[in-house]
Amino acid sequence: DTAVSQTPKYLVTQMGNDKSIKCEQNLGHDTMYWYKQDSKKFLKIMFSYNNKELIINETVPNRFSPKSPDKAHLNLHINSLELGDSAVYFCASRTLAGVRSGANVLTFGAGSRLTVL
Amino acid sequence: GENVEQHPSTLSVQEGDSAVIKCTYSDSASNYFPWYKQELGKGPQLIIDIRSNVGEKKDQRIAVTLNKTAKHFSLHITETQPEDSAVYFCAASISTGTASKLTFGTGTRLQVTL
């Protein structure tokens, strides 16, 4: 199936730990994102990468470090986890050609629910 | 930067009734306005979008309207069904190049009751 896939779907960990979430898309898209959705359902952009290059960094703490080994993968590593990091993290992707034609269409993964105890 | 406000935050309608969700945006340069539906335990999914050169767009039971002068746009769902129950997000973006990004509204939880 063509899709945006995230692992793990659920992640429960203690404060102070370091964890990673992985994302892969097989849609041939050239831009990938991480969004954070808090308990009130607010969707906030964190990062975007275009062809492995960081394009958007929305004043996210340095404890969050995205890595894009190739344009099909964007991983998120979080150091020294805090209670406030508990949220659902969504990976998304889009094609730049779509943007240039006037439609900024994002395809989202199913989300990774992070719970910090 | 862009700011998108969305109302109401929750909406309950009876099956068969219509539902309307409204959004306003702040950046007059925004030219693309999608709507996403998020079902429980899933990621948001695009259901309809509209570009700034169009005032209205319809796809079966859903329609969007855009008023560029007032900087607001709306989602209309007619003949609502239980499967329409979800959280709906509006968004706005300036579709240009690689730095183009979507700014989402705060979401509307729609409940369709039998």
Chain B: residue whose CA lies nearest to A50:
B98
Q: What is the pLDDT of residues A69-117, one digit of tens each?
A: 998 999 999 999 999 999 999 999 998 766 667 678 899 999 999 999 9
Quote the pLDDT of residue A77: 97
Q: Which of A9, A48, A106 would you mutate first to test chain B, the one with the most B CBs within 10 A?
A: A106
Q: Which of B102, B103, B106 would you mutate first to test chain A, the one with the most A CBs within 10 A?
A: B102
Nearest chain A CA: its distance from B97 CA (Å): 7
**Which residues on chain A are in Cβ contact (under 8 Å) with B106?**
40-42
Per the prediction, chain B carries an average pLDDT of: 94
Nearest chain B CA: its distance from A56 CA (Å): 7
Quote the pLDDT of residue A53: 87
Per the prediction, chain A carries an average pLDDT of: 91
- Are residues A50 and B106, on separate chains, in Cβ contact within 8 Å? no
Q: What is the pLDDT of residues B48-67, one digit of tens each?
A: 999 988 899 999 999 999 99
* Strands (E) located in chain A: 4-7, 10-13, 19-25, 31-37, 43-50, 53-57, 64-70, 73-78, 87-94, 107-108, 112-116
